């Protein structure tokens, strides 16, 4: 999967600043969320950030479930815990 930092980071790669993944599974979907620690420095420009390839080991097969961005859900990700 490819992960891109949403906040301005002066085009710096996340590398070790990447936190996660947080994986939540339901009967209908698998939600995956990442975060990134802020880059060093006080001011960051917003020219875009590079994608970073990440391998996510799921706790079980995906099957017919949807794979969704855990940060783009309505409400809190915890609301989807069974």
**What pLDDT is attached to residue 78?**
64
Better-predicted residue by pLDDT, 4 or 78:
4
Rounded distance between C-alpha atoms, residue 75 and residue 73, angstroms: 6
Q: How far is CA 15 from CA 5, 40, 49, 61, 80, in A?
A: 11, 13, 12, 27, 29
Selection from 44, 45, 21, 51 nearest residue 33 by Cα: 21
Q: How confident is the model at residue 72 (pLDDT cuts 50, 70, 90)?
A: confident
Confidence of residue 23 (pLDDT cuts 50, 70, 90): very high
Query: Quick count: other Cβ atoms within 10 Å of Cβ 6?
Result: 11
Per-residue pLDDT reduced to its tens digit, 36-64: 999 988 889 998 899 999 999 999 999 99
Residues whose CB falls within 8 Å of the CB of residue 16, separated by 6 or more in sequence, listed in order: none
pTM: 0.78
């Amino acid at each position: 999967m490819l992960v891109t930092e949403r906040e301005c980071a002066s085009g710096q790669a996340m590398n070790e600043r990447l936190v996660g993944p947080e994986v939540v599974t339901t009967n209908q979907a698998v939600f995956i969320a990442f975060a990134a620690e802020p880059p060093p420095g006080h001011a960051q420009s917003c020219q875009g950030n590079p994608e970073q390839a990440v391998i996510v080991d799921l706790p079980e097969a995906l099957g017919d479930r949807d794979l969704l961005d855990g940060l783009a859900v309505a409400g809190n990700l915890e609301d989807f815990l069974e």
